[in-house]
Amino acid sequence: MHGEHGGFGAAKPEFHDSGSLDACSKCENVSCCGRKGWTITPPYLTSRDVARIAQRTGLEADNFSDVVMNPHTGNAVRFLKASAKEGCHFLEAGKCKIHDSRPVDCRLFPLDMKQIGGELKWVIYNYQHCELSERDTGLLVEQIAPALDILAGELLDYATVPLPAMTEIKYKVLMPVAIVS
């Protein structure tokens, strides 16, 4: 399984939310999840994200997510509901109501995975509102192992589902996606 270190009882890597990114703490208008400057695609939801959010909120998946067909894989995938006027479905008074249960895509942003030249690559979007410090980049890279564990069987969908709103945003390729079996 992705992220396992081998051996009986090996611990899976976990997300470490020991503080937000420097870029997030400087953000005054909640630009990536809020209604001001909404220029990004709502977050991709893994099956684990959907289950965790449903358990946390008591809501059915259709109440907080939209289903889209990925033309590259033919699979149905989910995205968090959001609107240009209101922002993220779970944003209230500039705060995330499900922050401790937020999707892997939210935890990683602006780190993402793309299929480039037939290979999966980790990229960092040069999102206009995110001025990442070296610390931020380091924290994001530390999240790769837990992200791979969560994305497991959904890597190809995560990397290939079209994101029309993200096509204009430049990115920097960090590294190939290393899949450990």
- DSSP characters over 24-70: HHT-SS-TTTSSTT--SPPPEE-HHHHHHHHHHH---HHHHEEEEE-
Task: Determine the pLDDT at residue 45.
Answer: 95
Structural contact between residues 91 and 33, judged by C-beta atoms closer than 8 angstroms: yes
Task: Determine the pLDDT at residue 16.
Answer: 61
Task: Determine the pLDDT at residue 83.
Answer: 76
Task: Determine the pLDDT at residue 29.
Answer: 58
Task: Determine the pLDDT at residue 70.
Answer: 96
Structural contact between residues 67 and 73, judged by C-beta atoms closer than 8 angstroms: no
Task: Determine the pLDDT at residue 63.
Answer: 95
29 backbone dihedrals φ, ψ, rounded to 5°? -120, 20
CA-closest candidate to residue 23, choices 132, 105, 163, 150: 132
Beta bridge partners of 112: 123
List, for the chain, all residue ranges whose pLDDT scores fall below the cut of 50: 1-10, 18, 181
Q: Is the dihedral of CA 55, 60, 64, 65 positive or negative?
A: positive
Round to whole Å and give the CA distance between 179 and 25: 32
| Global confidence as pTM | 0.81
Round to whole Å and give the CA distance between 97 and 145: 25
Round to whole Å and give the CA distance between 46 and 79: 9
Task: Determine the pLDDT at residue 6.
Answer: 38
Structural contact between residues 117 and 165, judged by C-beta atoms closer than 8 angstroms: no
Round to whole Å and give the CA distance between 1 and 96: 31
Round to whole Å and give the CA distance between 89 and 102: 12
Task: Determine the pLDDT at residue 69.
Answer: 97
